[in-house]
């Protein structure tokens, strides 16, 4: 079963990252635009999930992404995702939005935990330059944080290392 790489985007960076991630994973990955989903229940269709989410709604407690993810986040906890692996990728700008870096990741992370999913792919914040992020949970980013605005040169290596991590952490994912 191919892993489903879901993205939402405003200026295209998250779609680009989702595509690069799929190229790294190979033929066992499908890329889907969350904006094309008719209903949140489509997230229950077969396949583990990698959810790619930018942060636009600076400082907000809810609807943090400012993209199509926001129209699904409240319904995700009602899904039945027990036994499914879910990983989150966040895009943000650690320089201009240092106090809110990749805040939207944690909103999705918490919603998918409530749906019973197994959340994988946490990353150490060491090596990032930011002040605060709601997506640091118990000392770890709750997914892969990427910064295509201020640190684009680091993205390829971060993606390669993370794919290796997922292969070890969730061997059945892809
Ligand atoms: C008005 C505005 C608000 C933003 N707010 C945040 C933010 O709160 N936190 C953050 O990490 N990045 C923030 N960003 C940076 C975007 O998340 C970043 O550019 C991201 O790569 C955009 O992804 P997209 O092209 O897929 O929409 C903001 C950018 C703009 C222009």
pLDDT digits (tens, 9 = 90+) for 100-115: 999 999 999 999 999 9
CB 80 less than 6 A from any atom of ligand 1? no
d(CA 3, CA 32): 11
CB 92 less than 6 A from any atom of ligand 1? yes
pLDDT digits (tens, 9 = 90+) for 108-165: 999 999 999 999 999 999 999 999 999 999 999 999 999 999 999 999 999 999 999 9
Does some domain include residue 123? yes
Confidence class of residue 34 from pLDDT cuts 50, 70 and 90?
Answer: very high
Which domain CATH number covers 127?
3.40.50.360
Q: Is the pLDDT of residue 57 over 90?
A: yes
d(CA 105, CA 100): 11
d(CA 70, CA 144): 19
Helix (H, G, I), strand (E, B) or coil at 70: helix
Domain housing 107: 3-169
Does some domain include residue 174? no
Number of separate domains in the chain: 1
pLDDT score at 27: 86
Does some domain include residue 21? yes
């Amino acid at each position: 079963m191919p892993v489903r790489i879901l993205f939402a985007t405003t200026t295209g960076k998250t779609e680009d990252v989702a595509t690069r991630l799929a190229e790294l994973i190979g033929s066992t990955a499908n890329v889907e635009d969350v904006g094309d989903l008719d209903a949140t229940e489509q997230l229950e269709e077969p396949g583990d999930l990698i959810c790619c989410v930018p942060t636009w709604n600076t400082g907000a407690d809810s609807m943090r992404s400012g993209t199509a993810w926001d129209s699904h986040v409240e319904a995700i906890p009602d899904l039945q995702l027990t036994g499914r692996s879910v990983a989150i990728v966040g895009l943000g700008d650690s320089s201009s939005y240092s106090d809110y870096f990749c805040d939207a990741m944690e909103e999705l992370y918490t919603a998918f935990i409530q749906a019973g999913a197994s959340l994988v792919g946490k990353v150490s914040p060491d090596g990032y330059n930011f002040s605060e992020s709601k997506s640091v949970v118990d000392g770890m980013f709750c997914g892969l944080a990427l910064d295509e605005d201020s640190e684009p040169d680091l993205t390829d290596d971060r993606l390669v290392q993370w794919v290796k991590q997922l292969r070890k952490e969730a061997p059945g994912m892809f």
